[in-house]
Structure 1
Amino acid sequence: MGKDSKAMKNKGKLLSFFPTGEHYFAKGLKAYHRRDFEKANKYLQRAFQLEPGEPMIACQLALVNTEIGEYENSNVLLHLILDEMDPDMTECHYFLANNYAHLGMFKEAARYSRRYLELEEDGEFAEDAEDLLELLYLEGVDEEDELFEEDDLMLKQEEARGLLEAGHFLKAIEMLEVIVEEYPEYWSAYNNLALAHFYLGHPERAHGVLADVLERNPGNLHALCNLLVFAHYRKDREEIDRLIGVLSKVKPLLVEHQFKLGASFALAGEYKLAFDWLKKLYKSGYEGDGPFYYWFSYAAYHIGKEDLAQSLWQKVIAISPDKEGAEPWGENAAEAGLEDLPQTILQKLDSVHSEERLFGIFLISVSPSREELLASAEDSRSNGLTAVEREYLAYLKTGSHSSIADAHQTAETLYGSAYPISEDEAGLYQLWFTIYGEARAKGLSLKNHHAWAAAVEYIWLKCENEKTSMQELAGRYDLSAATVRKYVKMAESCLE
């Protein structure tokens, strides 16, 4: 051993650092005080993911959402604090009042201002709450005023929409069912109810809701567009063509309807129709949000207007930096895989086969809708999952050390060369999770993720009658042929 060996031995150990929710909360708070709300939002979201039961983190995240104009998201968090986390955080009542005033929901703003003053007559925000009430009264707001008799409906609809966007589909369904019972012709709620059922993996119920809408309100544009979206995810070409034929004849006047139509055409791959509607909005001076520019860029690119597509994509990135890499001309813009289909993923979680449920959880980890799907899985499916499957969900949510990590990392190794995941390739992953269950029961070491991945792919290709060799897979996974052979034998023993 060389002369430096002693020095090498005396060097300190490399310590692992696992950031906690408190760590990200502190970073988010610093960014907030610097008024760098983009970074504050990023850090606080991570803190909330790590410690979802901590009301101080949720409250600070709500304040950041208010600062960036995401008042509905802020309200969802504030209601969550008061309803489930810490009802004694009375300041949340004032924060809600402030948000509702920004949303134009003045009756609710007055109600929460008064509630805060009832609880904290001399509180930190008492003077602000009194000023807000005075302003509301000057505007003629009276809790009994007929002008605000529909505030309750607006409030419930906004809350339900927030739950839907956050992936809390069961809670959204409960609220939307109350709305449609109280307001049987409020079609917007029916359409959101159909979406909630669809994303929860119940397409029959979703279709039933839309059929009811179209029977009682023929030609309802949102219902027809939602049917087109559902048909696209089912890859039902006949139904897609039928709905395109119907919708291509529609000429909506409302801006909201024009955007819904254009975005639905784009999602279904009807880019020329999509471009015509989205361009019409653009030329009229429509100030769109991220989804508008996203679909407009895709439509422009796919009809050959690449310069316009790139210009529009800059607006997408400015609004949603996380979309970087998803541009229509990039590698990630290929045909959607199973990981892009929330309904399919949730259906897999309802399977009677454990390996398919584990595969469904892996799909959540690589899905663009990861957070929403995690929330939905925890809300509605945890009772039907095994201890291992619940452990897997917890691992995805917290990133904490877990024995399931080896299974996940081997699946990720497979994903490196088999994505997006087609229906045919689903068998590869389900084979791995079948082998994993037996290997875990036998106490086999699962640490060599590349070796297990090579072995699983070898067995799967043989089953598919595709020619390959252990030597070829060894080269691809940077292993020796002997190692691949060893792990193939272990994998096969798990299938006997």
Structure 2
Amino acid sequence: MNPSKQAVKKRRKKVIPLSLDATFFFERAVQSLDRYHYDKALKYFRRAVEYEPNNPVNHCNMAGILSEMGRYEESNDVLRSVLERVDPSMTECHYYLANNYANMEKYEDAEKALVRYLETDEEGQFLDEADELLELLRYELNRPAPLSTIKSKENVYAHDKARELLEAGRFAEAVRLLEEIIARQPDFLAARNNLGLAYYYMGMFDKSILTIREVLEAEPGNLHALCNLAIFYQHSNKDAELEDLLVLLLKTVPFHPEHVFKLSTTLGIVGRHAEAYGHFRRLLRSSELSGEASLHHFAAVAAANVGRYDDAQRHWQQAERLDRTSEVPAFYLKKLVKMRMGEDSPPTHYHYHLPFDEQFRKWTESPELLPGALKQDPLIRSSFFWALRHGDRKTKVQVIQALGLVADAEVIEALKTFLLDPKEEDELKRVAVLVLRSIGVNDALHVQFGGRLIILEAKRKAPRLPVWDSAWQAVLEKAMEQMSGRYDVIQQHDMMTLWVDYLSRVYPNVPKLIKSSGWAAALEYWTAKMHRQTITYHDLVARYDASQASISRYVNRIDEACGIREKMKQVLTIPQLPVLQ
């Protein structure tokens, strides 16, 4: 072969084919930008757009170059084209538009574009720059921007609202909001932490522990989560897990006052009062919280539990000076006298309010104060919901009746949840059903009775009773006692509903119920009649120890108010329909 031809062939093999695509022109544009050759950069970005017309980034790059060159209107044309035709989800284009309008001194247009960016952009990439531009526009327009929300901070604002709901004792509402936040932003650990607390306040221990463990999986050293978990372990009787966790917490010496307060109250709640008192003293010596009456109360509780009664007295006296309106310091100063003599034990809880028994005694004496206290004080609400879940039988009956005085959405939801708890007694659920009906909840109720799910049908709306009297409850309990085993759950529910219906119709002129037996027998009489069961006065007299005259009189009174005979007559006169073939 000719040597010259061989040389040509070798040279041809060294030729690298040039691939002209959007990436090639993008790289050339960047190189031109580095050399401040804006005309060339613009030309190359235009070619990149020609190769990939549906790529919004190429369009935005071209708009950016036009803006750098001072060609703001052309830049805006490109940005509007992206939003209208290429990719409407490119919300950052609104920020670029705002910058261009500001450079053109079209401040109102800039404001509209910036508000649109802040209200629609989820990432918040230019949040700091947007704040600076907002300040400029506020100065130029002499007014704040009409900004309703910042989309990228939506969860932060919602979390603040959820915290307010928790502090107000509206736990069910807080749970719903926090669950929505976490669904949108699973890594929002503060929201997940507070969700665990909300479950705990509602007595849902298993869910609270699970939620806090999710926080610790993401951030093992999260002090708030560790402290919450310690409290949850204690109230779930998980002693081994609690001891393991306390080994870590007792080694922890936080610096920030918020963390010191969290750790100290946690240690006190789980019974490590000496260590808790040490942390409370740190706060009182070095923190702005030293002016808080509640902090002195917590320190007094810890001191009393380790036998430092002089310190406890000093702290409660200081709390009394700082908070003249509270009954708490005076109550415990009075108890402290008995504590010193060994006749009374120190308080076991770290809440700045009176013990539940003492609160309930006061409200029993002045029941008109209870609704306001339950509505206004989140700690009191929390203690009532806690007692509903974990109090003894007598306390639960009192709490159910007391919650009926408030009857807000939170209370209704708590009582409905109570009806579905298989661990609660059927008798307590009957009281809850009665209270729900008495406060005007007439929709169908789902109840776990006797280990099976029962649906109590919706009832006619009746006037709401403003209070539930103990004498009315006595009639109900007497009837339930005699009807148990003779009537099924539905029939017993109908008896309760009839009693509420009667009381609602005659209120406020309810007759004096001196003896409950006769009224209870009358309720069973009408329940049997409504369900076509055989019943005789002779049987009722024997079982209820009431005279036939009394039972008959009360039967007639109930009928006069509720019109039962007339209703039953109407049912009986309905003609029978022929059987379909």
TM-score, structure 2 normalization = 0.40
Structure of greater relative contact order (alpha carbons < 8 Å, 6+ residues apart) = 1
TM-score, structure 1 normalization = 0.46
Greater Rg by CA: 2
